[in-house]
Amino acid sequence: MTQRTRQGTVAATVVLLTATAGCAGQPDPAHTRQRPQTGHPVPSAAGGPSAARGFTLVASGDVLTHNSVVRRATADVGGEAGAGYDFRPLLAGVKPVISQADLAICHCPALTSLPQIAKALGATGYDSCSTASNRTLDALDTAGVRHAGAARTAAEARSPAWLKAGGAKVAQLAYTDDTNDLHRPGEPPWTVSLIDEKKIVADARAARRAGADVVVVSLHWGTQWQTEPDEQQLRLGGQLTASTTAGRPDIDLILGTHARVPQAYEKVNGTWIVYGMGGDQGSTGRFTFVPPAEPGRRWVVGKAEFIPQWMDAESGRVVDLPQELHRGADRGEYREVLSEISKAVLSRGAAKDGLTMGR
C-alpha cells in the first residue's frame, strides 16, 4: 500500500476540477460566473451547429489553512498587525487554469475563521465548493461561490448547487464520511450530508428529474496520507457508477477529497472517478464534457486531464508544475514532485482510458 513520501511544511492546495468546498447561496439555478467561455458548438445530426455547447470542468483538492499559509497571507497584505490577510497571491499560479475553465470546483475542510479565503477562491475563479465537512457557508455566499454538502435549513439541504456551464445545467452534490466533530448530537440530520449509497443515488436521480444535464458528486472519503484508494472508495465508487436510470448513468463524475495526498483517477463503468485530488501536493482534474447527439442522452467526457500542482513552502505559492517546467523553471524538486503525483494519479491504469497530463 503506497504512502506519500513528501510531506511539505505547508498544506494548502487549491486545484480543482472538483471538488469540495463551499459556494454561494442557492436561489438562482442558472448561476454563471463571468469568465471566458471555452465551450464550442458541436455539429448536430443535420450537420449544422448545435444549440448545446461543450464545457470544461476543473476540480481541485483540499483548501487548508496551516499557520505557514496564514503567515504568508499576512505578509502579502503588508505584514502589519491587524492588517488582515490576502490569499489571492498564493493562488495566482493556478488562476489561469481555474479562471479559464467554464466551471471550477474546490473543497474547503476548514474555513470558519478566515472569510478572506472565500474571497480569494471567488477571485481565483471558483464557482462552487463542497462543504460536506464544515458549515462555513455565509463567507462563501458573500464571495459569490456556491456550495453543496452542508446546509443551514432543510430546504437548502434538499437542493444541489445548481450551475450553468456551456450549454449544460450542472448539479453538484456533496457528502462526507467524517464530520470532524462539527455535526453534534441533537442537530438536525440535514446539516451535513453523510455518505449513504442509497441517498446519493436518490439525490442524483432527483437532480436529473429537476433538469440536470450533468450530475457531479463530491465525496469527502478515504484514508488520510494513503495514496492508494481504500476498500470503501473502491466499493462505493463501483456501486455509484453502476447506477443507471433507463440506461443512462445517474452520476457523470465523482470528485474525491480528504486523503491530503494525490490518489488515482480511474474510469469505472464508463464514469471518471478522482479518488483524491490531494493537499499540499496533488492534482487538478480537468474534464471536457461533450453534448449528446440527441436530447436526453448522456453528456460524455471527451477529454480527461490531470494537472500536477504543489504548495511550494519556499515561495509560499501554489505552483502549476507542468506550466512552470514548460516555462523553463530549472528546479529538480519540481520534476521530482511532478513524478510522484503522476505515479499516484496513473496507478490504476487511467492512461489506457485516455487520461493525459495538462497544464
pLDDT at 61: 79
- How far from the centroid of its chain's Cα atoms is residue 122's Cα? 14
- Tell me, what amino acid is at 225? W
Q: Above 80 in pLDDT, residue 344?
A: yes
Of 232, 235, 231, 199, residue with least CA distance to 217: 199
- What does the pLDDT average to over 321-340? 91
Q: How far apart are CA 350 and CA 147, in angstroms?
A: 29
Q: How far apart are CA 192 and CA 194, in angstroms?
A: 6
Task: Give the CA count within 13 Å in the CB-facing half-sphere of 145.
Answer: 32
Q: So what CATH class is 41-357?
A: alpha beta
pLDDT at 302: 97
Of 177, 335, 169, residue with least CA distance to 252: 169
pLDDT at 290: 97
Q: Which residue has the higher pLDDT, 87 or 41?
A: 87
User: Strand, coil or helix: what is 209?
Assistant: helix
pLDDT at 112: 45
- Tell me, what amino acid is at 258? H
Mean pLDDT over each residue of the chain, to the nearest integer? 80
Q: Above 60 in pLDDT, residue 50?
A: no
Q: How far apart are CA 217 and CA 17, in angstroms?
A: 12
pLDDT at 5: 39
pLDDT at 10: 31
In contact, 28 and 159? CB cutoff 8 Å: no
**Which residue bears the cell 456550495?**
147
pLDDT at 27: 32
- 231-242 helix and 197-209 helix, angle to the nearest 10 degrees: 30
Q: Above 60 in pLDDT, residue 151?
A: no
Tens of pLDDT, residue by residue over 3-47, are: 443 443 333 333 323 333 333 333 333 344 445 444 544 333 333
pLDDT at 17: 30
pLDDT at 116: 84
Helical spans, DSSP H, in the chain: 67-76, 95-100, 115-124, 137-143, 154-158, 197-209, 231-242, 321-326, 332-345
User: Strand, coil or helix: what is 91?
Assistant: helix
Of 277, 232, 253, residue with least CA distance to 107: 277
Residue 35's contacts (CB-CB under 8 Å, 6 or more residues apart) are 99, 100, 101, 102, 125
pLDDT at 146: 59
- Tell me, what amino acid is at 123? A
351 pLDDT band, cuts 50/70/90, is very high
The number of residues in the chain equals 359
Q: Which range has highest mean pLDDT (3-12, 158-167, 186-195)?
A: 158-167
User: Strand, coil or helix: what is 142?
Assistant: helix
Domain limits, the chain? 41-357
- Give percent above pLDDT 70 in the chain: 71
Q: Above 90 in pLDDT, residue 230?
A: yes
Q: Which residue has the higher pLDDT, 23 or 50?
A: 50
